[in-house]
Chains A and B, each alone.
Chain A
């Protein structure tokens, strides 16, 4: 187990460095110059040079990269070129919003997706399966932004059930916080719910025709135990994989959703930084996102062996 974790850690570091290089080069290859953006109307060569010097933009890419990496390793992500705020504090204030939004979205998608998937598999051929399939198709094909706008238009503006935008920190007022986040999380979770539903349905159908289900029935177990325990536990491995794989889609979905509901999260931070060519912020955002991705994938891999004892990570046996 320890060897496995060390191995994974080493791989993660390589991945992170590679991701950082790609982004570092990528941002600089974009048309646009942060010095120009900063200088505004007053763009004489003298002040441009001063700005470049201040942020180290006059150095070679290699030096800039080394500076970024060595600082980041010490937890110093630099300052925003735009506002001068430490990037770390910008990330610390935006991250909780996105994490909460994503966790809520995954929870909602999991409950809806697994629930509908199980019903569709058990009530195969009936109206319940038809309805679940139709909903899944809808959830997959309707774009987030349109769904978000419609939700705001009807649920927030017309009916006034939910706030249309804004954010209240969880520790300030938990109820208000959930009230603000539930709609964006629902919108963000629809696509994932549809994917989870379809996977749950097909893996449940597989599980339900397995020999061990016949055994469970022959033991006289109630349907609740046969379906909800013996079959579902065997189907969950697929669901966990799907959630892991869909994480990328969830993060990009969060960017759009945060934009629509004006949430001060990671998505908004990223988009603003890109528009303003705020190199340190973009780099930091990618670094954090990549780290999150790696950590979550590791958690998913570890979760496999909890769900299915046949899967044991290398080095443990």
Chain B
């Protein structure tokens, strides 16, 4: 099946006062129709930058190389007009902070209608009516009244639902959800995940789910790409990742997150020593070598490539044995 979204060799560098900074290096992944791909990793590993670069939302200080194809249309290097017509229409975003991501001075109805009027050319009444339908779709009670509410009159969970309604207004092919549940209470998170799952089932929307929460991944994702220091280090079906993680970093991530049944013997979470390095340029080495217990000379002298196949890993010494994580 032809992928809806194909990212190939995507690299992003930022111009800063201290020189260039590499944020994303040679990242490739594909998302099939109706598939949920989770991109996981620690803070600062390049997840969000990858997400933003897809529709050209990075600031002017960023340089993006490589290729992002949406249904065969190349987005990297596309002119502003093309990108604008794709944003919100074919690729839509949900952000982490529902508190600040909505404009405080416009009603939620206005903010949803705006997308419809811009992209589909609906008139005021039609857009308003469709906005009410969308609010119902994402599970907002008494949508007819809520439509004229301002964001500050809604709870965090409701605002995130509004963000989702706004994002799916034009029935986009790809929905990019950048930490959609991170800022919300645990009880609210489940509701938001239900909404996303429902959208995928009803509308067949492909979802790129950016998160560091492995619980969310297990709940929603079909496939997982693990990122570390700007590179994809492992990608596999979701059950494979949880059952047979091969990259020591993935093993570390799983060991660091609480889950029922795991950690049964020690009752302690493990941690990965050290921090994600900030790189001015990507070295010809494994960027995880400094923090890895399995690293040897080969890891510090040459960069491991992703292996071929369904379960792909970029590691010189992948974990083959069943690990107790």
A12 to B92, CA, bound (A): 52
Please report which residues of chain B, range 73-111, place their CB below 8 angstroms from some CB of chain A when the two chains form the complex: 83-89, 92-93, 95, 97, 100-106
A62 to chain B, nearest CB (A): 52
Enumerate chain A residues within 8 angstroms of B29, measured Cβ to Cβ. Answer: none
Given contacts A214-B57, A309-B150, contact A219 B118 (CB under 8 A): yes
The verdict on B114 contacting chain A, using a C-beta distance below 8 Å, is yes
Asked whether B152 is an interface residue with its Cβ less than 8 Å from the other chain, the reply is yes
A213 to B55, CA, bound (A): 15
Partner of B105, one of A219, A222, A233: A233
- Please give me the residue from chain B that is nearest to A231 by CB atom: B103
In the complex, which of the residues B55, B85, B103, B150 contacts A216, with contact meaning CB atoms closer than 8 Å? B103
Contact of A212 with B55 at beta-carbon distance under 8 Å, contacts A218-B87, A219-B166, A220-B119 already known: no
Complex contact A214–B103 (CB within 8 A)? no
> Any chain A CB within 8 A of the CB of B224?
no
B115 touches A (CB below 8 Å): yes
B114, A217: Cβ atoms closer than 8 Å = no
B57: chain A residues at CB < 8 Å are 214, 217-218
A219-B88 in contact given A212-B104, A310-B104 (Cβ < 8 Å): yes
Contact B115–A215 (Cβ < 8 Å):
no
Asked whether A220 and B102 contact (CB < 8 A) given A211-B97, A215-B95, A310-B152, the answer is: no
Please indicate the chain B residues that have their CB under 8 angstroms from the CB of A210 in the complex: 100
- Supposing A212-B101, A234-B104, A308-B105 touch, asked if A220 and B95 sit within 8 A by C-beta, the answer is no
Measured in the bound complex, the distance between the Cα atoms of B86 and A119 in whole Å is: 27
A230 to B101, CA, bound (A): 12
Contacts of A216 in B (CB 8 A): 103
Residues in B neighbouring A225, C-beta threshold 8 A = 114, 118
* B148-185 residues at the A interface, CB under 8 angstroms: 150, 152, 163, 166
A218 touches B104 (CB 8 A): no
Chain A 197-216 interface mask (CB, 8 Å, partner B; 1/0): 00000000000001110111
Interface flags for A42-79 (1: CB within 8 Å of B; 0: not) read 00000000000000000000000000000000000000
Within the assembled complex, what's the spacing in Å between the Cα atoms of A220 and B92?
9
Interface size for chain A: under 10, 10 to 19, 20 to 34, or 35 or more residues?
Answer: 20 to 34
Closest to A309 in B: B150
| CA–CA, A230 and B57, complex, Å | 17
Task: Write the nearest CB–CB distance from A191 to chain B, whole angstroms.
Answer: 29
Q: Give the nearest-CB partner of A236 in chain B.
A: B105
- A313 adjacent to chain B (CB < 8 Å): no
- The docked-state distance in angstroms from the alpha carbon of A307 to that of B119 is 27
Given contacts A211-B100, A214-B57, contact A220 B105 (CB under 8 A): no
User: Which residues of A from 266 to 317 have beta carbons under 8 Å from B?
Assistant: 307-310
A214-B150 contact in complex given A219-B87, A220-B84, A221-B114, C-beta closer than 8 Å: no
B176: shortest Cβ distance to chain A, in Å? 9
Shortest Cβ distance from residue B241 to the other chain A in the assembled complex, whole angstroms: 28
Chain A residues near B166 (CB, 8 Å)?
215, 219
Q: Is the CB of B84 within 8 A of A309?
A: no
In B102-152, the 8 Å CB interface with A consists of: 102-106, 114-115, 118-119, 150, 152
Residue of B at shortest CB range from A216? B103
A63 to B159, CA, bound (A): 64
Complex Cα spacing A136 to B86, Å: 39
CB–CB B87/A220 < 8 A: yes
CB neighbours of A221 from chain B (8 A): 84, 88, 114, 118
A218-260, CB under 8 A of B: which get 1 and which 0? Answer: 1111100100001001100000000000000000000000000
Say whether A309 contacts B95, CB under 8 Å: no
Q: For residue A219, which residue of chain B has the nearest CB?
A: B88
Q: In the complex the two chains form, is B92's CB within 8 Å of A230's CB?
A: no
Residues of chain A within 8 A of B88, CB atoms compared: 218-221
Q: Write the chain A residue with the least CB distance to B99.
A: A211
Q: Which residues of B contact A215 (CB under 8 A)?
A: 93, 95, 101-103, 163, 166
Nearest to A310 among chain B residues (CB) is B152
Of all chain B residues, the one with the shortest Cβ separation from A307 is: B105
* Distance in angstroms between the alpha carbons of A234 and B57 in the assembled complex: 21
1/0 per position for B22-58, CB-CB distance to A under 8 A? 0000000000000000000000000000000001010
Inter-chain pairs besides A212-B103, A221-B88, A225-B114, 10 sampled, C-beta below 8 Å: A217-B87, A218-B57, A218-B87, A219-B87, A219-B92, A219-B115, A221-B84, A234-B104, A234-B105, A307-B105
26 pairs of residues in contact across A and B, judged by CB atoms under 8 Å: A211-B97, A212-B100, A212-B102, A212-B104, A215-B166, A217-B57, A218-B55, A218-B87, A218-B93, A218-B95, A219-B87, A220-B83, A220-B84, A220-B86, A220-B89, A220-B115, A221-B84, A222-B84, A222-B118, A230-B106, A233-B103, A233-B105, A234-B105, A308-B104, A309-B152, A310-B152
Which residue numbers of A lie inside 8 Å of B, CB to CB?
Answer: 210-212, 214-222, 225, 230, 233-234, 307-310
The 7 tightest CB contacts between A and B, nearest first, are: A220-B87, A220-B88, A219-B88, A211-B100, A212-B103, A218-B93, A309-B150
